């Protein structure tokens, strides 16, 4: 079954609602808070909401739930829009903001007050916690719960007018302090906050809570299905209570699904911010970060991320997905789409003793896709090979260059090593080899075949570059359980190689262009640091999963 046609409980429920004419058109929404960068978990929510809208001929809104101005910024708003588009989606209409509905939300709060369903409470935060009770003990009514609607309206309009200091009063819904669901124990609707808002400036000294705002925003926008992750399941009765007691223009329905949790990954914004603030990573878009900006800079194709989210499936059971499943999706996608090139990361000089003149070879850009064409690669008497591809002596299992043995240069001739030079420390600094004539694309006439294939670049035409080899950021498969994520960092998550030399064609690579460096892995030209005069490539992923074997 293709991922596009795979069924799940959300699709089943939506189809039932359509068949029952509960709605005319499906409307979903992706409602991020602009207080950080989107991460891999958000990618799941994005694909769920946008793909459902696409499948059922509906629409999906992008709405910023910007009710907490102290932690929000325009930088995050712009980054989130970039990420959604990069992932391959376009929202319906203009970008929406909770702050656009502040006046309506305020008016509806007055409606609750006038109907005896909300009151202004003067308890301190500490006192409110004591009155709230616990999971095993019912809460107690606030002494301010019996204020009249008239007094509550006067106090609330005073809060709106900025007459009271921050933290001195809140507006609470009057529901049930004895409810076994703590979310229904007179939750807070508004707080006094003297904070500048990135959209409304200083117009509002009070701000609605997310629990109060987001259901009404859904109703204003005509959202039919408010699809949330499971941590909001206990909030659904409150969501429904507001919809029931307010004159909203539509009646959205909240449905929850399991969030995406992957091994070796942290998605807590607080812990991601700790990584950034501590300097453990270079920023929110560091290629080791699970943010979409980081994955993009790492070279993860958006199509591979979408495929991974589909393959994981949508359910109501929390679980942890092996991040190797994502890496496999990335590897499979790039194997099909990435052109090949050669890069030597640990150079060792190789002299071809019987090549008197340079040659220009035509090499396929992809061995399995002729449509990608070919490129010209200069073969010169002086080459560079990877130091790990040569040994003076080796057993039969070693399939690379050994003195007296043969290998094929990728896309070129079979060569046979003759001798090597050493430095004062005894290290090999140059290898001498001869070309076996008539072996360009052919096996040797004498019947002695090459043991393996190695990559190479011209010493004179090669392009010096910086290559950043990345690995998983954490050494612990469950780093989120640690209070200090800095304690479980993988010390080898980044290695900067400044000795790399690339084949000449890579001098023309554009930022964000991805290649398979032959026998090394997949690499992307860095979207910010790379230029023709200063090539910088980030390692996306290796050709095979070596992590599982090493860390088993």
Catalytic residues: 33, 259, 269
Q: Which tokens is 454 given?
A: 């190695």
Take residue 139 and report the two structure tokens written for it: 């809460």
Task: Please choose, from the candidates 517, 537, 515, 510, the residue with its C-alpha nearest in 3D space to the C-alpha of residue 526.
Answer: 537
Q: What's the distance, CA 35 to chain centroid?
A: 16
CA distance 274 to 138: 36
Residue whose C-alpha is closest to residue 313's, from 257, 265, 253: 257
Residue 466 structure tokens: 């910086």
Helix axes 102-114, 210-221, angle to 10 degrees: 110
Residue 20: which H helix or E strand, with range?
none
CA gap 459, 513 in Å, rounded: 24
Contact 112, 243 (CB under 8 A): no
Of 180, 260, 196, 254, the C-alpha closest to 223 is 254
Residues 135/113, Cβ–Cβ less than 8 Å: no
Report in angstroms the alpha-carbon separations of 330 from 17, 325, 337, 519, 540.
36, 9, 11, 17, 9
Instruction: Measure the CA–CA gap between 413 and 416, rounded to whole angstroms.
Output: 10
Give 484's contacts (C-beta < 8 A, 6+ positions apart). Answer: none
CA 488 to chain centre: 20
Interior angle at CA 385, CA 383 and CA 388, nearest 5:
160
Q: What is the rounded distance in angstroms from the CA atom of residue 343 to the CA atom of residue 384? A: 9
Residues 6+ apart with CB under 8 A from 234: 181, 182, 183
Cβ(401)–Cβ(431) below 8 Å: yes
């Amino acid at each position: 079954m293709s991922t596009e046609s795979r069924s799940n409980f959300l699709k089943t429920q939506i189809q039932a609602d359509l068949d029952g004419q509960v709605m005319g058109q499906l409307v979903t929404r992706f409602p991020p808070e602009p207080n950080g960068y989107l991460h891999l978990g958000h990618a799941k929510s994005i694909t769920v909401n946008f793909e459902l809208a696409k499948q059922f001929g509906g629409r999906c809104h992008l709405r910023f739930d910007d009710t907490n101005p102290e932690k929000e910024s325009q930088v995050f708003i712009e980054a989130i829009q970039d990420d959604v588009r990069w992932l391959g989606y376009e929202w319906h209409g203009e970008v929406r903001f909770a702050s656009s509905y502040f006046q309506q939300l305020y008016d509806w709060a007055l409606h609750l007050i006038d109907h005896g369903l909300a009151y202004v409470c003067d308890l301190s935060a500490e006192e409110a916690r004591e009155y709230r009770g616990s999971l095993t003990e019912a809460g107690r009514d606030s002494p301010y719960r019996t204020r009249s609607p008239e007094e509550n309206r006067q106090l609330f309009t005073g809060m709106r007018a900025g007459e009271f200091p921050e933290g001195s009063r809140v507006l609470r819904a009057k529901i049930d302090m004895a409810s076994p669901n703590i979310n229904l124990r007179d939750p807070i609707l508004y707080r006094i906050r003297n904070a500048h808002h990135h959209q409304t400036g200083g117009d509002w000294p009070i701000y609605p809570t997310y629990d109060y705002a987001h259901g009404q925003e859904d109703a204003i926008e005509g959202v039919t299905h408010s699809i949330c992750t499971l941590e909001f399941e206990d909030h659904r009765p409150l969501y429904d209570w507001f919809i029931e007691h307010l004159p909203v223009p539509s009646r959205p329905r909240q449905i929850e699904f399991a969030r995406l949790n992957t091994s070796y990954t942290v998605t807590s914004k607080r812990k991601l911010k700790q990584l950034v603030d501590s300097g453990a990573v270079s920023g929110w878009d560091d290629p080791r970060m699970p943010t979409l900006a980081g994955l993009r800079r790492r070279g993860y194709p958006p199509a591979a991320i979408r495929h991974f989210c589909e393959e994981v499936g949508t359910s109501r059971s929390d679980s942890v997905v092996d991040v190797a499943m994502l890496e496999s999706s990335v590897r499979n996608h790039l194997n099909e789409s990435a052109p090949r090139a050669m890069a030597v990361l640990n150079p060792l000089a190789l002299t071809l003793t019987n090549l008197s003149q340079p040659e220009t070879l035509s090499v396929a850009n992809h061995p399995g896709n002729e449509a990608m064409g070919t490129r010209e690669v200069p073969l010169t008497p002086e080459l560079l090979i990877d130091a790990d591809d040569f040994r003076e002596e080796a057993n039969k299992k070693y399939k690379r260059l050994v003195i007296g043995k043969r290998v094929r240069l990728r896309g070129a001739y079979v060569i046979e090593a003759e001798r090597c030079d050493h430095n004062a420390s005894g290290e090999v600094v140059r290898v001498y080899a001869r070309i076996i004539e008539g072996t360009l694309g052919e096996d040797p006439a004498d019947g002695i075949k090459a043991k393996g294939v190695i990559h190479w670049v011209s010493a004179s035409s090669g392009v010096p570059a910086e290559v950043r080899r990345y690995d998983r950021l954490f050494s612990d498969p469950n780093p989120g359980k640690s209070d200090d994520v800095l304690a479980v960092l993988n010390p080898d998550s980044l290695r900067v190689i400044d000795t790399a030399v690339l084949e000449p064609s890579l001098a023309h690579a554009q930022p964000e262009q991805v290649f398979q460096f032959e026998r090394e892995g997949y690499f992307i030209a860095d979207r910010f640091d790379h230029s023709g005069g200063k090539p910088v490539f980030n390692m996306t992923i290796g050709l095979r999963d070596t992590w599982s074997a090493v860390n088993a």
